[in-house]
Each structure stands twice: as C-alpha cells, then as structure tokens.
Amino acid sequence: MGPPRPALLALPALLLLLAGARAEKEMLENVSVVCPRDATRFKHLRKYTYNYEAESSSGVPGTADSRSATRINCKVELEVPQLCSFILKTSQCTLKEVYGFNPEGRALLKKTKNSEEFAAAMSRYELKLAIPEGKQVFLYPEKDEPTHILNIKRGIISALLVPPETEETKQVLFLDTVYGNCSTHFTVKTRKGNVATEISTERDLGQCDRFKPIRTGISPLALIKGMTHPLSTLISSSQSCQYTLDAKRKHVAEAICKEQHLFLPFSYKNMYGMGVQVTQTFKLEDTPKINSRFFGEGTKKVGLAFESTKSTSPLKQAEAVLKTLQELKKLTISEQNIQRANLFHKLVTELRGLSDEAVTSLLPQLIEVSSPITLQALVQCGQPQCSTHILQWLKRVHANPLLIDVVTYLVALIPEPSAQQLREIFNMAREQRSRATLYALSHAVNNYHKTNPTVTQELLDITNYLMEQIQDDCTGDEDYTYLILRVIGNMGQTMEQLTPELKSSILKCVQSTKPSLMIQKAAIQALRKMEPKDKDQEVLLQTFLDDASPGDKRLAAYLMLMRSPSQADINKIVQLLPREQNEQVKNFVASHIANILNSEELDIQDLKKLVKEALKESQLPTVMDFRKFSRNYQLSKSVSLPSLDPASAKIEGNLIFDPNNYLPKETMLKTTLTAFGFASADLFEIGLEGKGFEPTLEALFGKQGFFPDSVNKALYWVNGQVPDGVSKVLVDHFGYTKEDKREQDMVNGMMFSVQKLIEDLKSKEVPEARAYLRILGEELGFAKLHDLQLLGKLLLMDRPDALMITTVLDRKDACTFFKDAGSP
C-alpha cells in the first residue's frame, strides 16, 4: 500500500487538537457560569509569585523597652489552574523576633530557635481554595495541616483577594475576610484610562460578623457575668490596605495592609497608646504561565475566618490538672489553707483549657483523687465540656436529687450556653421534673437564644415537650401544670418565636373553666413576655368583662391587657366600671387608672393619653377604704438631665383582698427604671399569693389562741399578778381575770400552749401560699408555704427535747419532705 501520506498523518493530530480546544472552550464556558471572568484579578493558567512579609508588634510607641515584635518572611506562590480556583504555596519562610532596639528606636531582629521548624511547617502542604461566583471563600486544607499554620495562610489569602473595581470611585462592599464578612469602604484612588491602578480599603473589624471576643469561661456563681462583649468594646480594631495594581493585567503588584488594635482607656484621642499592630507587605516578583488545569478540592472544607487554637498539648494539660488537684488535696493534711484559694483558681483555669475528649478521659482520675473538689471545680469551670460532664456524672452515680437540682440550676446561669449544655439541662429537667431543674431550663433557653437566634433541634424539642404538658386545656397534674406555666412565662418571648401554636394552647387554658383558678391565673401570667396580638387582647378583654369569673382572675387578665391596650379596650373598661358589681374589681381598676393619670413614668405617656380620651365622657368611681378593698399603689418620678435622655423610676404595688373576709390574698411589689434612652426595665418584683389563712389566724390570735394565752401566762409569771389596767384589757379581749387558775410551771404551761396550737392547726384547713421573685424580668423561682412547714419540722426533729414537738411529729412527715424536695 506504500508509505502513509503526510496529510493522512496530520489529520488525526488536527482532530485531536480541535477536540482539545473544543473541550477547553466548553470547560471555560461551564466555569464562567459559576465564576465570571471579571470576578477575580488573577487570571487562570498563571502563577503569581510574591515576596511576603508580616510583622506583629505590641506595646506603646515611643517606649522601646516595653515593645515586642515578631516578623515572618516567605515566598508566596498563587497558582490559578481554573477560574476562581487557586493553589497557595509558601516556601523559604523565616521567623524572627526582637532582641533589642537601635538608638533610633527600630527593632533589632534575629531568627528564633524554631525558625527552621516553622519554615518546614509552612512549606509542607499546599492550600487549595475556591471562590464560587467570586464571593465567599472556601478552603480545602490537608487533613494534618496545623490550625495555627492554616491561620497564617488565611491571613495571606485575605490580604491578596481584592475585588474588581466598578465605575464608582467609592462604594461599600461586604467582603469575606479572616474576621468573617466585613463591611468594607472601597475607594479607587487613581486610574489609568478606565483601569484602576491604586485602590484602598478601610474596615472596622468590630463590625465583622466573626469578630467575637474570646471567652475564657466564667463561673455561674459570679455576681457579674456576660461582660465578655462589653469589655471587648474597650478595644478599637481597624484595618486599612493600600493596593498598587498592574494597569494592563489588573492583578495586585504591591500591597500593604495595616491592622491596629488599640486599648481605648489608655489611648490618646483614640489613636495613640497601648495596642497591637500587624503589617503585611506583598511585592510581586514574577507571573509565569502554567499548564496544569487540575484542581482537586479535597475532603475537608473550611471557611476563611480564623479558627481558635490551643498552644499546649492535651496530654500536658491533663497532667497539669491532675497535679494541681493532688496538691490541693494535700493542703487538708498539711493545714496550709492559705494556698487553697490560689490553687483552686489554678485548677478551674486549667479545666477550662481542656477539650471535651480530655475531660472525658481525665474525669475518672480526678474523681478518684477527690470527688468533692472535682465537683466544685467542674461547677465553677463554666465551659461546655465541664458542665455537660458534671451533669452526666451526677446522673450516672445516682446522686441525691437535691444536689442534682442545685448543680443544674447553677450550670444554667452560664451566660452563653452551648447546644450540648442546653440538651443536658433539658434531659435533666425532663427526668427530675422539679422546680429547680425546670427553672434552670428556662434560664438556659433564654441565654442560648440570645446568642443563637435561630430555630435549632434542641429548642424545638423543648417547645414540643412543654406543649405536651399543657394539652387538654391544662387539665393534667395540677402542681406540675402550674410549674410548667410559670416556666413558659419565664421564656415566653423565645417560645413564641419558635412555635406560635404554644400561645394558642395557653389561651385555651385561660378561657377554659376545667382547670383550677390557680391554673387559669398561671396561664394568664404565662403571656407576660409574649407579644400582645389583637386576638390575645380580645381574649383577655372578654375574660375581664366576664362578671361570672372570680375577681382575681379578672384582675390578672386586666393587668395583662393593660400592657398594650387599644383605645377601644380602654373605652370598654371605663364604661364597665360604674355598673361593676364586684367592689374589689371596681376599686382596684379605678385606683390603677387613677395612678396612670398621675404617673410620671416615661413609658406610659401614650397610655395616659388613651385613658384621658376614654374619660372625656365618663368618670372614675371613688376609690374606697384601702383596708378592705383591693387597690393599686404607684409612686413614680421622672427627671431631665442636661445632654442626657430623661430618666424615670417607679415603685408599684398591688394588694388584692378576698371579698368574703377582707383579708389580703394576693400582693405584689415591683420597681421599674427607664434611663439612657432604653426601654423600661423591671429591676425586681416580688409577689405573694395565699388562701385559707383564716383558721390559722384564729388559732394564733383568736380569743383562745396561742398568742393571747401565752401573753396571759407571761404576765402572770412576771409578778404573780396582773395590774388592774392590764386586767381590764385582758378581760375585754381575751377573757382572762386574776381569779383564773393558771399553770405556775412556765415550761409545762408553754408546752401545753404549743401542743394545743399544733392540734388546732392539724384540725383546720391547711393554708396555701406561694411567693415568687423576679429580677430584671427573669423569675428565679417560687416557694410554697408547705416547703417552709416541712423544713421547720425537720429542724425541730433534730432536737428531740426542743419544746417536745417530736411528740406530734412522725416519720411520715420527714418522708413527705424528702419526696417533695426530690430526694429518695
């Protein structure tokens, strides 16, 4: 057939070239859909080589002896195998530190001992990164890349990525940086034709979404908590960068980025003083072409923002914690207690530095050395790895429920709990079903939602659990339903945002007559932190207008309604008062409205206008005797200060009487402060509610009661006789005369009176009372009278001869107390 012709040989090669070109074109077209060509200043199939220098210095400028500095020099290569895809390589790195200063005040630097180790770590792995659509930056580091080395490379990338300019000279852009997404003032300083050649960027780092102060942990027992963020505002942090660009190819030819962190209390004009400066410098050396188009993303994907690091190895940290605990235990034997506080603080600090895995492996050894000290240290640690493990430990060893309640409540006071902490507290509350753990859950939910204002699975699980407990119009176990409603009220704002259906369930409990009056009032109180909507206000108004409802329920609905009433609501209330049959309701509402008209509180001025409008054609009833009728008390004062917003303070109290016997059955005292332009805040609020005290008061103060009888005996024992003036009072009020035979033995006489009092109280109706305390709107909990009675009995049982009260107490009382308190 003869030798092949050249044309036939060239044909396959030509087809191969055409196919390759077509494939490359298709690849570029596909990439351009995801990454536009002008999304980045670095062109694909090029390598950009820079000389990189970064210097960090701290101290006060002008005071050479108190300054420190560190400098890094590296060769940085940025390869672009594909549009918006890069490979960062660092080599020839050196690490230097200051060892002195020359006469001009400039730092004298020398290589550090670990400079070679640092250079090897920087050059060991390359770093792949991608910027889809030219916006958010994603990194694909190697699995074994140390976090502190990765953070240095993050700083290099953040400084090099300059957005393309537009026709506008100045604009505000939101860019991805090592501090998260930052608002950046972007300015084009000079242009060559239509191409920018000099650009500057300015940003306030405090406004970046990932620029958060480092938390070192805080004890839940600390009086002042949550100061991490306020104290961080005392440091001013800013960054400015100057870029020189290639007029033809638009890439970065030279860059200088300066970052400054200034401690404002020790600064002059918020510009000069104690602080830290970081300067990064880039100088372009070469831009050769490359042929490789391969870009493998890898399995690990992270963002551009810095990650926190720990300098000490976990093994050494664990050994240090164990050694400190052993030293602390030895102090008891050596009686050197003067060192106890310092060692315990050291132990807590070291625990805060441990990882979750380290605490898990170390905890058995710590418990073996000293479980009481370990328990106290874990409580005060305040970190997630401590609190979760302490709760799991207490559950595992079946600790006393009282101890579990106390520890759970303390853990819940941590300002910024993690999701894991919240889950552990929820599990404990669900198992214990006690007041302490459920109130702890409400505090933890509020603290968690402040820092995580999104819907999480933990929050949804808690909401679903609470809704289950108040289903069927709150007709479940009365005591537990009451507790659940109080807890819901403590975190109502958070619960409403997560599940609006929860409010509907509460309103059903308000409207229903199936649950007890106590439950109906607790359901009204559960709305106190929720946003009042028109539908909610209508339910509350109808509850108040229903004259068949008990007076205290109507007044509870009225007070909740008056948080944000409409003009129509107030008109209906004012129109009802003249014909209101319940004198307790009428007197309370009249006094409350009168106090609104006389109030100087800043936050109710709009409400005052609505009330005045409603009273144009009506008149308030006369407020009746405060000794017999329910009433609202208010004392308010407002002041105006030069150059400041006006401030006001108010003290408010409610006193609600029982209409059957004119005894107070409910009282409340609250103080409110409005200042510095903020919304009014309830500083503290205490409340007391009770019923069934009439028999008790009769047994104590009646004519045959304990106190009159005791007074008679005491007066007789003083002189053996009673003066005539006193005798007349005793005869008129207590039926006592000189001729009455009284027991001459003081001890036997008093014992008879005490035993008679106890027997009388046993035969009477047991009174019920509940008291609560709120500070800054947070309800810390409530106590029942029954708690105090049982506690008192137990204290008396510890002294068998104390008034011989043990004769009327039995073992059943002690068992009842421990059962109510949650102990086995």
DSSP of 744-768: S-HHHHHHHHHHHHHHHHHHSPPPE
Least confident among 288-302, 586-600, 734-748: 734-748
| Residue 249 sits in the same domain as residue 341 | no
pTM (2 d.p.): 0.67
348-353 average pLDDT score: 86
Among 284, 303, 322, which residue terminates a domain?
303
pLDDT digits (tens, 9 = 90+) for 715-728: 554 444 555 655 55
Q: Which residue has the tokens 């509180």?
A: 601
Q: What is the CATH number of the domain that holds 160?
A: 2.30.230.10
Least confident among 167-171, 228-232, 349-353, 430-434: 228-232
| Distance, CA of 629 to CA of 307 (rounded, Å) | 64
pLDDT digits (tens, 9 = 90+) for 750-794: 556 666 656 655 555 566 778 888 888 889 888 887 776 666 565
- Residues in Cβ contact with 75 at an 8 Å cutoff, skipping those fewer than 6 apart: 49, 50, 51, 52, 90, 91, 92, 93
Whether 546 is in a domain gets the answer: no
Q: Domain of residue 416: give its range.
A: 398-531
Average pLDDT, the chain: 79
| Distance, CA of 42 to CA of 290 (rounded, Å) | 13
| Distance, CA of 685 to CA of 413 (rounded, Å) | 19
| Residue 320 sits in the same domain as residue 418 | no
| Distance, CA of 221 to CA of 406 (rounded, Å) | 12
Residue type, 315: L
| Distance, CA of 639 to CA of 636 (rounded, Å) | 10
Q: How many domains does the chain have?
A: 4
Whether 577 is in a domain gets the answer: no
Whether 614 is in a domain gets the answer: no
| Residue 332 sits in the same domain as residue 452 | no
Say yes or no to pLDDT of 49 above 90. yes
| Residue 206 sits in the same domain as residue 329 | no
Name the nearest CA neighbour of 773 among 687, 704, 715: 687
Residue-level pLDDT at 19: 39
| Distance, CA of 552 to CA of 60 (rounded, Å) | 66
| Whether 421 contacts 387, CB under 8 Å | yes
DSSP of 93-142: EEEEEEEEE-TTSPEEEEE-TTHHHHHHHHHHS-EEEE-GGGSS-EEE--
Whether 752 is in a domain gets the answer: yes
Whether 558 is in a domain gets the answer: no
Retrieve residue 254's tokens. Answer: 């030279």
Least confident among 227-236, 303-312, 320-329, 344-353: 227-236
By percentage, how much of the chain surpasses pLDDT 70? 75
Retrieve residue 206's tokens. Answer: 């405090």
| Residue 412 sits in the same domain as residue 489 | yes
Whether 363 is in a domain gets the answer: yes
CA 7 → CA 11, 13, 19, 176, 262, distances in Å? 6, 10, 18, 55, 74
| Residue 145 sits in the same domain as residue 260 | yes
Say yes or no to pLDDT of 462 above 50. yes
Between 799 and 474, the more confident residue is 474
Whether 77 is in a domain gets the answer: yes
Residue-level pLDDT at 703: 54
pLDDT tier, 747 (very low <50, low <70, confident <90, very high otherwise): low
| Whether 488 contacts 779, CB under 8 Å | no
| Whether 474 contacts 485, CB under 8 Å | yes
Give the burial class of 242: count Cβ atoms within 10 A of its Cβ; 0-12 exposed, 13-18 middle, 19 or more buried: middle
| Residue 525 sits in the same domain as residue 440 | yes
Residue-level pLDDT at 24: 42
| Distance, CA of 186 to CA of 183 (rounded, Å) | 9
Whether 628 is in a domain gets the answer: no
Residue-level pLDDT at 265: 72
Distance of CA 227 to the CA centre of its chain: 11
Q: How many H-runs (helices) and E-runs (strands) does the chain carry?
A: 29, 19
| Residue 319 sits in the same domain as residue 293 | no
Task: Name the β-bridge partners of 638.
Answer: 648
SS3 of residue 608 by DSSP: helix
Helix (H) or strand (E) segment spanning residue 363: helix 356-369
Among 747, 763, 779, which residue terminates a domain?
763
| Residue 240 sits in the same domain as residue 175 | yes
| Residue 120 sits in the same domain as residue 268 | yes
pLDDT digits (tens, 9 = 90+) for 373-398: 988 888 888 788 888 888 888 888 88
The length of the chain, given as a count of residues: 824
pLDDT tier, 6 (very low <50, low <70, confident <90, very high otherwise): very low
| Residue 276 sits in the same domain as residue 252 | yes
Retrieve residue 360's tokens. Answer: 């898990």
Residue-level pLDDT at 133: 73
DSSP 419: H
| Distance, CA of 499 to CA of 465 (rounded, Å) | 12
| Residue 69 sits in the same domain as residue 173 | yes
pLDDT digits (tens, 9 = 90+) for 601-620: 888 889 999 999 998 877 88
Give the burial class of 115: count Cβ atoms within 10 A of its Cβ; 0-12 exposed, 13-18 middle, 19 or more buried: middle
Among 763, 783, 818, which residue terminates a domain?
763
